[in-house]
């Protein structure tokens, strides 16, 4: 784990230096000519206190967000069905904070969801990060199972020694470990969930993104054999896929994504992620389709401010005409 710990330490030093030293210093220099040095110190000091909260406390503050997906395609036997979404754990960040993952697992199981899904980025750089957490992650349970997909970090293309052999080895090990802890990894494929005579589909695609992120997904292949009009849940790591390849092009009722972390900073309705993503956090609906973007659990740096680590619980509801 030496390489992973070194990677984490380096990322924290760089980010901490920028946020705690670089930006406050820049603020001071910009304000000093106009306000004098006494007043110019106030804003940088406030900034550093806020940043300190994010570094020491914010990343520990797990919240449970709830949303509802209503669709005429949902069979009445699934009305009230609860889907719990986790995303972007980046588990290598917690090699020295394993109690955080224990807390996460406990909170997940306390929601008593019918189905649990994970929408990618389990690791930071390599599959080895999962090994110390196998037992904890294996305790995540739901009656209809735990389904997962790959995020851009899960292809392990950010490892220090970047060779085709190392990348392939890490991908193979990660897939093995996800199976070992009881997660069903969906690689451009789907699974069916049954209640009595009714069925819904969970579709999982590999990462579909624009450069510089990997793009290995195939939604057409993942949906092969599924009839039109069936209620479908799509797991796709990058939320930009919804507008580019799902909305108005398929009959998928619910898409679950992550990836953005909401920039790990959210102030009311603003986040730095807005500069890069039209849909960056929370619930979006259009054309009879719903997207939910989880702000995720972790990041390569343990820092959260406003965009708290999130467990998302989506309750499925059939329209009244279908229930009656």
CATH of residue 301's domain is 3.60.21
Report the pLDDT value the prediction gives residue 107, as an integer from 0 to 100: 98
Report the pLDDT value the prediction gives residue 211, as an integer from 0 to 100: 86
141 and 51 within one domain? no
Considering its fold, how many domains does the chain have in total? 2
Q: What are the Cα distances from residue 315, in Å, to 145, 198, 235, 318? A: 16, 17, 16, 10
From first to last of the 324 residues of the chain, give the pLDDT tens digit: 454 444 444 544 555 555 555 565 666 566 667 777 666 666 667 767 778 888 889 999 999 999 999 999 999 999 999 999 999 999 999 999 999 999 999 999 999 999 999 999 999 999 999 999 999 999 999 999 999 999 999 999 988 878 999 999 999 999 999 999 999 999 999 999 999 999 999 999 999 998 889 899 999 999 999 999 999 999 999 999 999 999 999 999 999 999 999 989 888 888 888 888 999 999 999 999 999 999 999 998 899 999 999 999 999 999 854 443
127 and 47 within one domain? no
169 and 312 within one domain? yes
259 and 153 within one domain? yes
Last residue of a domain, one of 56, 76, 92: 56
Q: Can you spell out the DSSP letters for 29-52?
A: HHHHHHH-HHHHHHHHHHHHHHHH
The domain of 40 spans 2-56
CA distance 300 to 101: 15
For the chain, what is the mean pLDDT?
Answer: 89
243 and 168 within one domain? yes
Last residue of a domain, one of 18, 38, 56: 56
Give the number of other CB atoms < 10 A from CB of residue 235: 26
Of 115, 94, 138, 151, nearest to 312 by C-alpha is 115
CA distance 122 to 115: 18
Counting every residue written for the chain, the total comes to: 324
- Express each pLDDT in 111-148 by its tens digit: 999 999 999 999 999 999 999 999 999 999 999 999 99
Q: What are the Cα distances from residue 256, in Å, to 143, 241, 324? A: 19, 11, 28
């Amino acid at each position: 784990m030496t390489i992973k710990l070194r990677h984490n330490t380096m990322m924290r030093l760089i980010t901490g230096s920028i946020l705690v030293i670089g930006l406050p210093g820049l603020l001071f220099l910009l304000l000093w000519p106009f306000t004098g040095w006494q007043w110019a110190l106030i804003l940088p000091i406030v900034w550093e206190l806020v940043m300190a909260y994010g570094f020491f406390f914010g990343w520990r503050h797990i919240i449970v967000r709830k949303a509802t997906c209503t669709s005429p395609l949902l069979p009445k036997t699934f009305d009230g069905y609860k889907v719990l979404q986790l995303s972007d754990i980046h588990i290598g960040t917690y090699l020295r904070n394993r109690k955080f993952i224990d807390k996460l697992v406990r909170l997940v199981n306390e929601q008593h969801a019918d189905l649990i899904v994970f929408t990618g980025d389990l690791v930071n750089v390599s599959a080895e990060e999962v090994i110390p957490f196998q037992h904890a992650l294996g305790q995540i349970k739901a009656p209809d199972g735990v389904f997962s997909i790959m995020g851009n970090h899960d292809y392990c293309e950010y490892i220090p020694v970047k060779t085709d052999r190392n990348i392939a080895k890490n991908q193979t090990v990660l897939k093995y470990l996800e199976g070992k802890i009881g997660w069903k990894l969906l690689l451009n494929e789907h699974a069916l969930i049954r209640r009595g005579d009714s069925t819904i589909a969970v579709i999982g695609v590999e990462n579909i993104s624009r450069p510089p992120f990997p793009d290995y997904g195939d939604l057409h292949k993942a949906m092969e054999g599924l009839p039109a009009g069936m209620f479908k849940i799509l797991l796709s790591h990058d939320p930009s896929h919804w507008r580019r390849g799902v909305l108005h092009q398929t009959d998928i009722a619910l898409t679950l994504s992550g990836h953005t972390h909401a920039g790990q900073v959210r102030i009311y309705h603003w986040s730095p992620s807005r500069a890069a993503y039209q849909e960056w956090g929370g619930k979006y609906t259009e054309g009879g389709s719903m997207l939910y973007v989880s702000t995720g659990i972790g990041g390569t740096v343990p820092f959260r401010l406003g965009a708290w680590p999130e467990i998302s619980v989506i309750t499925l509801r059939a329209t009244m005409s279908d229930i009656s």
